[in-house]
Amino acid sequence: MRLPARPGERLNRDREVTFTYDGNAVRAFEGDTIGSALYASGQRIFSRSFKYHRPRGLLCCSGSCPNCMMTVDGVPNVRVCAEPVRENAVVRPQNVWGSLERDALVVTDKLGGPFTPVGFYYRTMIRPRWAWPLYEKFLRSVAGLGKLDKHGTRANRYDVEHRRARVLVIGGGRAGREAAQQHAVAGMQVVLVDEGFVDPLEGVEVVAPGRALGIWEGGLVPVDAGRVLYRFRAEKIVVATGTIEQPLVFPGNDLVGVMLPDGVRRLIEDWGIKPAEKAVVVTVDEAGREAAASLREAGVEIAGVYDLRRERVREIVARGRGGVLRSVEVDGRKLSCDLLVMSGGRQPAYSLLSQAGARVEYDPGRGVFIPTDIPEGIEAVGSVAGEGLAGAVPAASYNGASGKGKCFVCVCEDVTDKDLKRAIAEGFDSIELAKRYTTVTMGPCQGRLCHVPSIRLYARENEKDEATIGTTTARPPWAPVTLGLLAGRPHEPAQRTAIHHRHKELGAKMMWTGTWRRPHSYGDPEGEAQSVHASVGVIDVSTLGKMIVRGPDSAQFLERLYPNRFGDMKPMRIRYGVLNSDAGRIMDDGTIARLDDETFYVTTTSTGAGAVLEWFEWWNAVWGMDVEIVNVTGGLAAVNVAGPRAREVMRKLTDIDLSNEGLAYLDAREAQIAGVPSLILRIGFVGELGYELHFPSPYGEHVWNEILDAGEEFGIRPFGLEPQRILRLEKMHILVGQDTDSESNVLEANMPWIAKLDKDDFVGKWSLEQVQERGLQDLLVGFEMEDGKVPLEGAQVVLEGTRPIGRITSSRWSPELRKAIGMAWVPAAIAEEGKSFLVTVDGGFERATVRLRPFFDPDGEKLRS
């Protein structure tokens, strides 16, 4: 029932807003919340509780409790008491089988008691074991609150915005506003955030509604403003979060019609609603009396006010029908009413301060926990710091000797005083254990209404004081937050080469290599591999890491980092290098081309570029040599033209001497390719005559197109990563990270020739010497399958059907060789040409033969042609 308009109300009675609730239209005013509008229209039951499905009604009207949670426009668990109305919003109840008024699941309240005591899931619905799927199905359908559309995708847009504040004030009440203004007047940039609506404040930026989710290291305070997450970095944080009204614990304290003082005040003053006809007030502080005065003014009959500062009360029992309040008995005296205002005092909302490192101390005189030892950079002002709190200390419960009915400590999780006592009896005697066993404070309110009552009860039952019981750890988020808001926008950093667009046009199947997008193949991996052998193919290898290493000490620098020798490298020659850690483990591999006395061009694996740069820079920082390292990975596109007819294609693109003497295997040469300045590296990962061209990336597409044009008469085909893998495997070329892992070293990985142990100190030398001394244990070898079955990569190598002794790292069917080939780690004893071992394939064993020389062109004649 609406009261006449009053000053200070939040309604704009000139503007009507209509929304639907459970299919029916509800009229409201602008300024209403969905909850206030529903209440004004006569709705009293707002939800059904989590476990017992008891009817629940408005309790706090401040977004603290779970009682008003409904689904709004498909978004579950919205606290409608705080949610502003909007036109055509679709509001539905949740967690009911039937309706709010008639929920079939209320049977758990009437009968479920014996089956659902505290911690029931540790004891019940376990046997018979075969029935578990049925139990599970049932439990899943009744558990939880709101429901999500299982097949939904991003329905809402959530953004993140990074903000800075010289001073961030959290809480827009009296103390927060005062603090904000003081700092603004002193010339500081101030931002004030509040969970609800706040009037503007001069000189202060107000973000409201904006809920601070926690205080993290570095003054980080993320603020939930609905569709935007403001990530604030604040130099100074002022916490003015105020206090939270606490309930009293007595039988029937969860009935619809039992409310906290602030809830009543808001109904009357903010939304002009007469909350009831007849009310009873039980209070430990002034708040209850103020509520009584407000109610009288609104025309509500006050049947009784019990001020627990002045009188002792032993027993309070609220009774109702159908879950709705009808009367209250105080020490035997029965008063009929439809509203019971209970005030158990106000507990400082210290959670944010606690997260930031403050301690919390119990004040027995006031019966609440007060934050202390506030860390530097943070200030607590107002009632959260304990200002202005006066009242009687409530009893742990007003459940008299007779124990009449369920006495709720936690309305979110339906935890009663009996549950807590049972937990203590079972040995869960600390508050942290009690929390985890009973789930008290673990619901939507996160302890706002039940933390202190549960501690008080624990103290009484254990005959200790609250200070000894202590509090549970406060953790972010301070209030429930949508995962979507934390997720933000769906962007994933992805790297693409300058030729990417052409791959898509050519029908490539793209795949991820680390954060690079690369063509897996153009639809025919085996055919693509074959065309490299038969004629010529081209692959985009722009993803390779590329660095210029220049300086008087550059050769010495590389000699110290790699096991190879570089000092004796002639200009415009290339070497294959394997980078080792100081533990002698393989980190990365690539080519090193010497461009002149002081300049080297180093390539790395596609996913290793960043790590190798870091590694190089670190050693340079330690050694301080005269060398500069410049990362040009994205600056150069690179393509590899490979196959017996590669030279003929190259002849059409450049003028330089491409004869086998003019540009020999492992030679480097600078040249213009299709009018673009390039570096040609004659190397051969795929085992055929090949030229790797490196040139400025803006010409990626141009050079690619020119190559395809020039190669058309030779049947050139682009090839992707999958055919490249087949080809390199035919040559037994390792892939770091595929054939090696974090323990592999070059001696055991089939490349002993790389480690020049007669060199001076290089990174990893000592460890490799130790490996040599210890003796090689497992070696990386090639193998071919006897019966042509391709084992899975990761399949186990087994010795005569007994135990696993090694594993397959790479395996493929080679269309060129018409064999199943691969590489594997095997014990040194069988790492000899011709020895055989068994491999797990399809649940059985197949025989493989060890091969130590490349399967294709073992002498490398094609490469050097």
Partner 1 sequence: MSGLAFLSPGRASAEAVWCSPLARALEGAPPDVGDLSQTGKIEIRGDLPKSVKGGELNRITPNRGLVLCDFGKTVELLEKLSQDYFAVDVTATLAGLSVRGEQLMRRITDLDLDALPAAGAVSHIQALVTRDGDSFALWFGQEYSDYLAEVVIDAWEGLRE
Partner 2 sequence: MSFLLDCPNCGPRDVNEFSCAGEVTVRPKESPTLRELTSYIYFRRNVAGVQREWWYHRQGCEVWFQAERDTRTNEVLRTEIVEPSSRAGTPGPEAVATPDAPAV
Residue 157 contact partner, candidates partner 2, partner 1, none, CB within 5 to 8 A by sort of partner: partner 1
CA R_g for the chain = 37
Residue 310 contact partner, candidates partner 2, partner 1, none, CB within 5 to 8 A by sort of partner: none
The residues, ordered by sequence, that sit 6+ positions from 526 with a Cβ below 8 Å of its Cβ are 723, 726, 813, 815
CB of 689 to partner 1, least distance (A): 21
Residue 186 contact partner, candidates partner 1, partner 2, none, CB within 5 to 8 A by sort of partner: none
Number of C-alpha atoms within 13 angstroms, CB side, residue 280?
Answer: 23
**CB closer to partner 2, 88 vs 770:** 770
Residue 622 contact partner, candidates partner 2, partner 1, none, CB within 5 to 8 A by sort of partner: partner 2
Q: Which of these, 733, 703, 723, lies nearest to 643 by C-alpha position?
A: 723
CB of 509 to partner 2, least distance (A): 31
Which residues would be at the binding site for partner 1 (CB under 8 A)?
157, 159-164, 231, 233, 489, 491-498, 500-501, 516, 548, 550-551, 595-599, 628, 630-636, 670, 672, 674-679, 694-702
**CB closer to partner 2, 372 vs 556:** 556
Residue 456 in contact with residue 440, Cβ under 8 Å? no
**CB closer to partner 1, 542 vs 750:** 542
Among 220, 305, 632, 852, which residue interacts with partner 2 (rule: CB under 8 A)?
Answer: 220
Cis status of the peptide bond prior to 453, with omega within 30 of 0? no
CA 250 to each of CA 66, 263, 337, 399, 457: distance values in angstroms, whole numbers, following the listed order: 19, 19, 17, 5, 12
CB of 304 to partner 1, least distance (A): 53
The whole-angstrom separation of Cα 734 and Cα 605 is 12
Residue 624 contact partner, candidates partner 2, partner 1, none, CB within 5 to 8 A by sort of partner: partner 2
**CB closer to partner 1, 36 vs 697:** 697
**CB closer to partner 2, 8 vs 218:** 218
Query: Which stretches of 176-273 are assigned E, i.e. beta strand?
Result: 190-193, 204-207, 211-212, 220-224, 228-239, 243-245, 258-259
Residue 309 contact partner, candidates partner 1, partner 2, none, CB within 5 to 8 A by sort of partner: none
The whole-angstrom separation of Cα 779 and Cα 829 is 9
The whole-angstrom separation of Cα 292 and Cα 312 is 19
Q: Residue written as tokens 């529903």?
A: 38
**CB closer to partner 1, 233 vs 274:** 233
**CB closer to partner 2, 54 vs 546:** 546
Among 121, 132, 138, 623, which residue interacts with partner 2 (rule: CB under 8 A)?
Answer: 623
**CB closer to partner 2, 19 vs 615:** 615
DSSP state string for 58-109: -S-SSS-SSTTEEEETTEEEEETTTSBP-TT-EEE--S-SB-SSSBGGGHHH
Residue 491 contact partner, candidates partner 1, partner 2, none, CB within 5 to 8 A by sort of partner: partner 1
**CB closer to partner 1, 548 vs 776:** 548
The whole-angstrom separation of Cα 168 and Cα 230 is 12
Residue 767 contact partner, candidates partner 2, partner 1, none, CB within 5 to 8 A by sort of partner: partner 2
DSSP state string for 774-788: H---EEEEEEEESS-
Site for partner 2 in 469-488 (CB under 8 A): none
Q: Which of these, 465, 442, 473, 218, lies nearest to 360 by C-alpha position?
A: 473
CB of 605 to partner 1, least distance (A): 15
Contact status: 771 vs partner 2 (CB under 8 A): no
**The two structure tokens encoding residue 221:** 């305070």
Burial label for 86, CB within 10 Å (0-12, 13-18, 19+), is middle
**CB closer to partner 2, 506 vs 583:** 583
DSSP state string for 247-290: ----BTTTSBTEE-HHHHHIIIIIT-B---SEEEEEESSHHHHH
Among 14, 202, 463, 761, which residue interacts with partner 2 (rule: CB under 8 A)?
Answer: 761
Q: Taking phi first (over 0 means left), then psi (-120 to 50 degrees means alpha), and beta for anything else, what does residue 777 get?
A: alpha
Residue 780 in contact with residue 744, Cβ under 8 Å? yes
Residue 20 contact partner, candidates partner 2, partner 1, none, CB within 5 to 8 A by sort of partner: none
Q: Which of these, 859, 661, 821, 658, lies nearest to 728 by C-alpha position?
A: 821
Contact status: 588 vs partner 2 (CB under 8 A): no
Residue 469 contact partner, candidates partner 2, partner 1, none, CB within 5 to 8 A by sort of partner: none
Contact status: 290 vs partner 2 (CB under 8 A): no
Contact status: 614 vs partner 2 (CB under 8 A): yes
CB of 167 to partner 2, least distance (A): 17
Residue 29 in contact with residue 17, Cβ under 8 Å? yes
Q: Per CB under 8 A, which region of 172-180, 216-224, 421-429, 452-460 contacts partner 2?
A: 216-224
Q: How far is CA 816 from the centre of its chain?
A: 46
Contact status: 712 vs partner 2 (CB under 8 A): no
CB of 403 to partner 2, least distance (A): 48
Residue 96 in contact with residue 105, Cβ under 8 Å? yes
Q: Residue written as tokens 């490469």?
A: 863
Site for partner 2 in 226-285 (CB under 8 A): 233
Q: Per CB under 8 A, which region of 24-32, 61-69, 212-220, 288-296 contacts partner 2?
A: 212-220
Beta strand 339-343 pairing with 278-283: parallel
Q: Per CB under 8 A, which region of 42-50, 453-461, 539-547, 609-617 contacts partner 2?
A: 609-617
Contact status: 743 vs partner 2 (CB under 8 A): no
Contact status: 138 vs partner 2 (CB under 8 A): no
Among 613, 649, 716, 779, which residue interacts with partner 2 (rule: CB under 8 A)?
Answer: 613
**CB closer to partner 1, 157 vs 334:** 157
Q: Per CB under 8 A, which region of 191-199, 215-223, 277-285, 590-598 contacts partner 2?
A: 215-223
Residue 310 in contact with residue 344, Cβ under 8 Å? no
Residue 110 contact partner, candidates partner 2, partner 1, none, CB within 5 to 8 A by sort of partner: none
Q: Which of these, 653, 687, 809, 631, lies nearest to 737 by C-alpha position?
A: 809
**CB closer to partner 2, 626 vs 833:** 626
CB of 460 to partner 1, least distance (A): 49
Burial label for 486, CB within 10 Å (0-12, 13-18, 19+), is middle
CB of 216 to partner 2, least distance (A): 5
Residue 713 contact partner, candidates partner 1, partner 2, none, CB within 5 to 8 A by sort of partner: none
* 3-state secondary structure at position 658: coil
CB of 766 to partner 2, least distance (A): 5
Residue 165 contact partner, candidates partner 2, partner 1, none, CB within 5 to 8 A by sort of partner: none
The whole-angstrom separation of Cα 481 and Cα 490 is 18
**CB closer to partner 2, 196 vs 610:** 610
Residue 556 contact partner, candidates partner 1, partner 2, none, CB within 5 to 8 A by sort of partner: partner 2
Degrees (nearest 5) of the Cα angle 149, 152, 153?
A: 155
**CB closer to partner 1, 372 vs 515:** 515
The whole-angstrom separation of Cα 258 and Cα 142 is 26
Contact status: 582 vs partner 2 (CB under 8 A): yes
Among 202, 217, 505, 859, which residue interacts with partner 2 (rule: CB under 8 A)?
Answer: 217
Residues near partner 2, by CB under 8 A? 216-220, 233, 553, 556, 582-583, 610, 613-614, 617-618, 620-626, 761, 766-767, 769-770
